[in-house]
Structure 1
Amino acid sequence: MTRVLIIEDDPMVQFIHKSYLEKISQTMTIYTSTTLKESRELLEQHEIDLILLDIHLEDGNGLQLLEELRRQKYDMDVILITASKESLLVKESLHLGVLDYLIKPFTFDRFEKRVALYHQKTTQLNQSEMNQEHIDAFLQGQRTLEEPEEEELEKGLTPETLQFVISTIQQLEQPFKIQDITDKTKLSHVSVRKYVAYLEKNGQLLSENIYLKVGRPYKVFYLNQKEEL
Structure 2
Amino acid sequence: MIRVLLVDDDALTLELHRDYLARLDDFEAVAECTGARAAIDAVLERGDEIDLVLLDVTMPDGTGLDVLRHVRARGAAVDVIAITGVRDADVVRQMVSLGVAQCLVKPFTFAVFRERLEQYREFRRRAAEAAGAPTQAEIDALLGALRPATRVALPKGLSADTLARISDEVRERGPVSAAEAAQRLGMSRVAARRYLEHLVTEGRAQRAARYGTRGRPESEYAWAQHPSLP
The amino acid across from 2:4 in the alignment is V
The reply to whether residue 38 of structure 1 matches residue 38 of structure 2 is yes
Q: What corresponds to 1:102 in structure 2? A: 104
Greater relative contact order (CA < 8 Å, ≥ 6 in sequence): 1
Distance 1:44 1:90, change over 3 A: closer
Structure 2 counterpart SS, 1:24: coil
Using the alignment, how far apart are the partners of 2:83 and 2:13 within structure 1?
10
CA RMSD of aligned residues (A): 2.8
Q: Deviations over 1:60-97 (max 9, x none)?
A: 11101111222222121100101100111111111111
Q: What corresponds to 1:56 in structure 2? A: 58
Q: What corresponds to 1:157 in structure 2? A: 223
Distance 1:91 1:142, change over 3 A: closer
Using the alignment, how far apart are the partners of 2:63 and 2:148 within structure 1?
31
Q: What corresponds to 2:141 in structure 1? A: 137
Task: Give 1:55 shift.
Answer: 1.1
Task: Give 1:150 shift.
Answer: 3.9
Query: Where do 5+ consecutive residues of structure 1 fail to align?
Result: 164-229
Task: Give 1:159 shift.
Answer: 6.4
Using the alignment, how far apart are the partners of 1:27 and 1:152 within structure 2?
22
Q: What corresponds to 1:4 in structure 2? A: 4
Structure 1 counterpart SS, 2:23: helix
Identity between Structure 1 and Structure 2 (%): 30
Query: Where do 5+ consecutive residues of structure 2 fail to align?
Result: 150-199, 207-220
| Equivalenced residues, count | 159
Q: Deviations over 1:118-155 (max 9, x none)?
A: 11111111123544333223325388xxxx98436246
Distance 1:27 1:100, change over 3 A: closer
Task: Give 1:158 shift.
Answer: 5.7
Q: TM (normalized to structure 1)? A: 0.61
> After TM superposition, where is structure 1 displaced by more than 4 Å over at least 4 residues in a row?
158-163
Distance 1:11 1:142, change over 3 A: closer
Q: TM (normalized to structure 2)? A: 0.61
